[in-house]
Amino acid sequence: MTNLDDILKSRRDTRHFTPDEVPDEVIEKALQAGHWAPSVGLTDATRYYIIKSAEVKSAIKDLFLDYNKKAESLTDNPEQKEHYKSLKLEAIEEAPIGLIIAYDRSVLNQFTIGTVGSNEAVKFSSVCAAQNIWLSLTDQGYGMGWVSILNYYQFKKILDLPDNIEPLGYFCVGKPATNYDNQPMLQQLHWKKKSEAPICTEIKNVTESYISDLKLKSQIEIDNKNDFSKELQEKIDGKTKPVGALGTLETLAFQLATVFETLNPKIINPNIVVFAADHGIANHGVSAYPQDVTRQMVGNFLDGGAAINVFCKQNDIQLSIVDSGVNYDFPTNANLIDAKIAKGTQSFLHAPAMSETELQLCFEKGKTIVENIAKTGSNCIGFGEMGIGNTSTASVLMSLLTGFSIEECVGKGTGVEDQKLLQKQEFLKRAIENYSGQANLKEQLAYFGGFEIIQMASGMLTAFENKMLILVDGFICSVAFLIASKINPSIIKNAFFCHCSAEQAHQKLLQYLKAKPILNLDLRLGEGTGCAIAFPILKSAEAFLNEMASFESAGVSRQ
């Protein structure tokens, strides 16, 4: 066995340390080894932070203990729970030195070879650096332990790490107090056994990658429901009120009953789904907010502090959050639906926002999300979104799919100033002019689309197939509906446009769709808030149709 083999085999995730100090030259040599690690496209994105302060270590230990309680609750097996609690999973306060190995996401704002196919490659480079450091420390007679059971958001917050810095975890460094019988500690303690040899499979054949075409469906008028429609209208007109006196509520009740195909419609398990993703176009300053706000707002949704949380709670609506493509790694046990295609789209100024494969994945994931919600018995789904830069994406798609000029389709979004609005219009106009692809829906969606917008369009189509009410929020969601309606025009029958936003482009789009919004409150927040606020009105339509007395039952004369 060579010396390198010895080092590789003895590299352990160390949890027990002696109190011996670690000489500066040992750390310096180890960090240099990390710096020599392969770095995709020479991004040089790995960053290091040294921690010796007892106060800082104590704060990190508290974070670990808090999150470790959540880890314990993941098993219902009492024996396994006790075994887990007995394991030593960190040495944050015992180890002489704490090391944070992180990567700098801001390098992705530059054109870097190797990151076009996967932004994850930057993180992978930092993992290579961590392994080099581990091997160097092992060679010098020292050890390192990786602590990953942390709330990374809080971890960054208490250490005041910049938003663009993403830690791989906290690493404990020191002199090992044991060799763990020359085997992984978890194996020694009978938690899990490591396989004897690497698992390797040879791939001999190529599987054809088939991207299905978007099959556009023609509008099909259904005449065989005339009897039901007549009976439904008679029921509405027969309520103890003048004909048409409840105005739009009567129209909503008629549509609601028609979707459910019953004279006694009942909304069951309503669910608002907020799709979140980042957009490469945001790096060109088209928004009043930095791109990282997408990640911050998803965190706010998960913490229950956003407007949509408040309104869903008020109206007893289930809220689901989807990571369609946020430029951030959320904890795997975060209460969100993981439908991440990539960490944001590419900028469509000079290149496609997504590949055809990514476009197909968006349709597949959007379909799966809504199918799973339908399986819970839900027959009413609202669509919301979050994504810095997505008004620019939606504006371009609206212009291409309706024929309106880009000036008619661009609004202030999150609140850009008038001068910046003009710059935004010119910028998006240039992006459209740079497009040399074909004028077919599939290519246009791949070139200019956003992950969350396409997933919503797919979800709406799936909701229609499952005979669900489709609640459409503001401008971006209406563009998603526009896409869905180009694929299947019949979807309009199930759609309830919840409000007309303050975006002038939204008003024009609603006119194009011949849609009458339920509310007009000058909203421009997104998140599905319009759906949640309009929902009680739908419940009122349901209630009057089901519970209001008829002239006959109340003994009231019609004349």
The C-alpha atoms of residue 539 and residue 545 are separated, in whole angstroms, by 10
Examine the domain organization and report whether 314 and 185 are in the same domain: no
pLDDT average, residue stretch 128-151: 93
Residue-level pLDDT at 251: 95
Q: Are 395 and 505 in contact (CB under 8 A)?
A: yes
- Residue 76 has a pLDDT of 80
CATH number of the domain at 134, please: 3.40.109.10
DSSP letter at 161?
-
| 518 & 369 share domain | yes
User: Do residues 186 and 88 touch, judged by C-beta distance below 8 A?
Assistant: no
CB-based burial, 59-91: b 16+ in 10 Å, e otherwise: ebbebbeebbeeeeeeeeeeeeeeebeeeebbb
Bridge partner residues of 147 (DSSP)? 170
- Domain check: are 334 and 440 in the same one? yes
pLDDT category of residue 214 using cuts at 50, 70 and 90: low
User: Is 244 a member of any domain?
Assistant: no
Residue 349: inside a domain: yes
Q: What angle, rounded to 10 degrees, do the helices at 475-487 and 504-512 form?
A: 20
Average pLDDT in the 173-195 region? 81
- Where helices occur in 403-450 by DSSP H, the ranges are 406-409, 418-434, 441-448
Reported as a pLDDT band with limits 50, 70 and 90, residue 114 is low
Between 19 and 196, residue with greater pLDDT: 19
Strongest mean pLDDT among 89-93, 223-227, 306-310: 306-310
For the segment 374-399, what is each residue's pLDDT rounded down to a tens digit? 999 999 999 999 999 999 999 999 99
Segment 432-442 mean pLDDT: 87
> Can you give the CATH number for the domain in which 500 is found?
3.40.50.10210
Q: Is residue 559 part of a domain?
A: no
Is the CB of residue 8 less than 8 Å from the CB of residue 135?
A: yes
Q: What mean pLDDT is predicted for residues 480-493?
A: 96
Domain span at 92? 4-189
Residue 372: which region, alpha, beta or left (left: phi > 0; alpha: psi -120 to 50)?
Answer: alpha
Query: Which of 189, 212, 246 is the endpoint of a domain?
Result: 189
Percent of the chain exceeding pLDDT 90 equals 61
User: What 3-state DSSP class applies to 219?
Assistant: coil
Rounded average pLDDT over 123-145? 93
* Distance, CA of 176 to chain centre: 41
Among 9-18, 70-79, 132-141, name the one with the lowest average pLDDT.
Answer: 70-79
Q: Is residue 511 scored above 50 in pLDDT?
A: yes
Selection from 408, 382, 399 nearest residue 435 by Cα:
399
Looking at residue 60, what is its pLDDT?
95
Residue 207 scores a pLDDT above 60: yes
Please write the tens of the pLDDT for every residue from 393-432: 999 999 999 999 999 998 765 555 677 778 888 889 888 9
Segment 126-135, tens digit of pLDDT = 999 999 999 9
Minimum mean pLDDT among 328-337, 452-461, 536-545, 550-559: which range? 550-559
Q: Report d(CA 155, CA 66) in Å as an integer.
A: 12
Of 1-5, 63-67, 232-236, least confident by mean pLDDT is 1-5
Which segments of 52-101 does DSSP mark as H helices, in order? 54-72, 78-86
Instruction: Output the average pLDDT for the chain.
Output: 88
Q: What is the average per-residue pLDDT within 92-111? A: 85
Q: Is residue 213 part of a domain?
A: no
412 in the same domain as 289: yes
Instruction: Say yes or no: 346 and 457 in one domain.
Output: yes
Look at the chain and report how many structural domains it folds into: 2
Q: Which helix (H) or strand (E) holds 289?
A: none
175 and 279 in a common domain: no
Residue 223 reports pLDDT greater than 50: no
Mean pLDDT over 325-354 rounds to 87
pLDDT band at 187 (very low <50, low <70, confident <90, very high): confident
Mark whether 409 and 503 lie in a shared domain.
yes
Position 258 scores a pLDDT of 96
Is residue 433 included in any domain, yes or no? Answer: yes
Same domain, 277 and 177: no
How far apart CA 344 and CA 332 sit, in angstroms, is: 18
Q: Residue 541 pLDDT > 60, yes or no?
A: yes
**Rounded to whole angstroms, how far apart are CA atoms 256 and 153?**
42
CB 105 within 8 A of CB 161: no
Q: Which residues are catalytic?
A: 527
Within a domain: 32: yes
189, 205, 231 — which closes off a domain? 189
pLDDT of residue 123: 83
Task: Work out the average pLDDT over 464-480.
Answer: 97
Choose between 9 and 533: higher pLDDT.
533
Q: Quick one: average pLDDT of 1-30?
A: 87
Residue 392, in any domain of the structure: yes
Average pLDDT over residues 303-318: 96
Q: What is the pLDDT of residue 513?
A: 97
**pLDDT over 60 (residue 40):** yes
Sequence-distant contacts of 52-59: CB under 8 A, at least 24 apart: 52/96, 52/97, 52/98, 54/93, 56/98, 56/159, 57/92, 57/93, 57/98, 58/93, 59/158
Sheet holding 380-386, edge to edge: 337-338, 318-325, 271-277, 380-386, 469-472, 495-497
Same domain? For 439 and 303 the reply is yes
Residues 458, 337 share a domain:
yes
Report whether pLDDT(217) > 70: no
pLDDT at 225: 66
The distance of Cα 353 from the centroid of its chain, to the nearest Å, equals 17
> Could you identify the residue written with the tokens 């009680």?
536
Whole-angstrom distance between the N-terminal and C-terminal Cα of the chain? 103
Strand locations in 457-548, DSSP E?
469-472, 495-497
Q: Are 450 and 385 in contact (CB under 8 A)?
A: no
Q: What is the DSSP letter of 280?
A: G
pLDDT given at position 417: 64
**Do 285 and 176 lie in a common domain?**
no
Domain end (from 142, 164, 189): 189
Same domain, 183 and 292: no
Q: Which residues partner with 385 through β-bridges?
A: 275
Residue 118: pLDDT above 60? no
Q: Tell the residue number behind the tokens 């009978």, with chain if given.
A: 190
The answer to whether the beta carbons of residues 485 and 513 sit under 8 Å apart is: yes
Q: Pull the structure tokens for residue 495.
A: 């759609």
> What amino acid occupies position 508?
K
Instruction: Report which of 221, 218, 198, 191 is spatially closest to residue 84, judged by C-alpha positions.
Output: 191
In this model, does residue 542 exceed pLDDT 50? Answer: yes
Q: Binning pLDDT at 50, 70 and 90, where does residue 221 land?
A: very low
